[in-house]
Homo-oligomer: A and B are copies of this chain.
Amino acid sequence: MPLTEAGIYAAALRLIDADGVEALTMRKLATALDANPMSLYHHVPNKEALLRGVARMAGAQFRTVALEDAPWQERIRLLATDFRTLAHRHPRLIAYSFSHQPDFIQHEDPFLVALTAILGAAGVPLPEIPETIALVCSVVTGVLTAELNGALHQWASIEPPAVPTADDSGSERPGPDEDRVFRLVLDTLVTGLESRLTADRDGQAGRR
C-alpha cells in the first residue's frame, strides 16, 4: 500500500505508544512502514512536524459529552476526567506534547470550546475567561504530567516525617492512588473557583 500522511502518523503513534517518543526514529518508522527512510520526507517535512501531526491526530480522538443541564462543577470534573482518559490512551505522546508543544491545546479544540462554555455557565465574567482557562489548563495538565511521568506516585508515597502516632502498623495505608489525588486536585480547583465566584457576586470589586 502507498505511503500517506495519515498512515505515517498512525504508524508513528503505534511506535510511540510502544516504546516512547525518544525511541521514535525516522529510520525505524520507515522500516515499520516497509519504506525507505527518505520516502517519508515526501509526506512530512521533518521529524518535528511529524510529531506535531501525530499529536494533532491523537488529540482529535478526544471525546466528551455536553451535559449542558448539569451544574458547572460536575461538568468541569467530567471534562477533566475525559481528558485524562485520552492521556491514558497515549501516555507517552501526551506527556511529550504537554512539555514540548505549547499549542497542543488549541483554540478550536473541543476541550477548550467546552471549557469556555462551562466557565461562562459558571458565571465567570467574560474578561476573566482567558486567565481562568489558563488556570484550569495549567492545573489539569500539571496533574496529568505528574501522573504520566511518575512524579505524582512519588509525591503521594512520601512518608509523613517522624511523629509515629501510636501504633500505625495495622492501618496499612492503601498505597498511593493516582485516582484519588486526581480527584483531590479537581475538588480543590472547583472549590477554589467557587469561592472566587461567590466573592465576586458579593460585590468585592478590586482585583489585584
Choose the segment among A52-60, A64-72, A148-156 that binds chain B (4+ C-beta atoms closer than 8 Å). Answer: A148-156
Q: How far is the CB of A143 from chain B (nearest CB, A)?
A: 4
**How far is it, in angstroms, between the C-alpha of A100 and the C-alpha of B150 when the chains are bound?**
10
Q: 8 tightest CB-CB pairs across the interface, nearest first?
A: A142-B142, A188-B192, A192-B192, A99-B99, A134-B155, A102-B150, A102-B151, A138-B143
B160 touches A130 (CB 8 A): yes
A130 touches B116 (CB 8 A): no
A165, CB-defined interface residue at 8 Å? yes
Which residue numbers of A lie inside 8 Å of B, CB to CB? 95, 98-100, 102-105, 107, 112, 116, 126-127, 129-135, 137-143, 145-146, 149-161, 163, 165, 173, 176, 180-181, 183-185, 187-196, 208
Kindly list chain B residues whose C-beta atoms are within 8 Å of the C-beta of A155.
105, 130, 133-134, 137-138
Kindly list chain B residues whose C-beta atoms are within 8 Å of the C-beta of A157.
130
Q: Which residue of B lies closest to A178 (CB)?
A: B134
Q: Which one of A151, A156, A181, A196 has the highest number of Cβ atoms from chain B below 10 Å of its Cβ? A: A151
**How far is it, in angstroms, between the C-alpha of A146 and the C-alpha of B176 when the chains are bound?**
26
Q: Which residue of B lies closest to A22 (CB)?
A: B100
Q: Which residue of B lies closest to A158 (CB)?
A: B130
Kindly list chain B residues whose C-beta atoms are within 8 Å of the C-beta of A156.
130-131, 133-134
**How far is it, in angstroms, between the C-alpha of A79 and the C-alpha of B173 when the chains are bound?**
28
Kindly list chain B residues whose C-beta atoms are within 8 Å of the C-beta of A133.
155-156, 158
B139 touches A185 (CB 8 A): yes
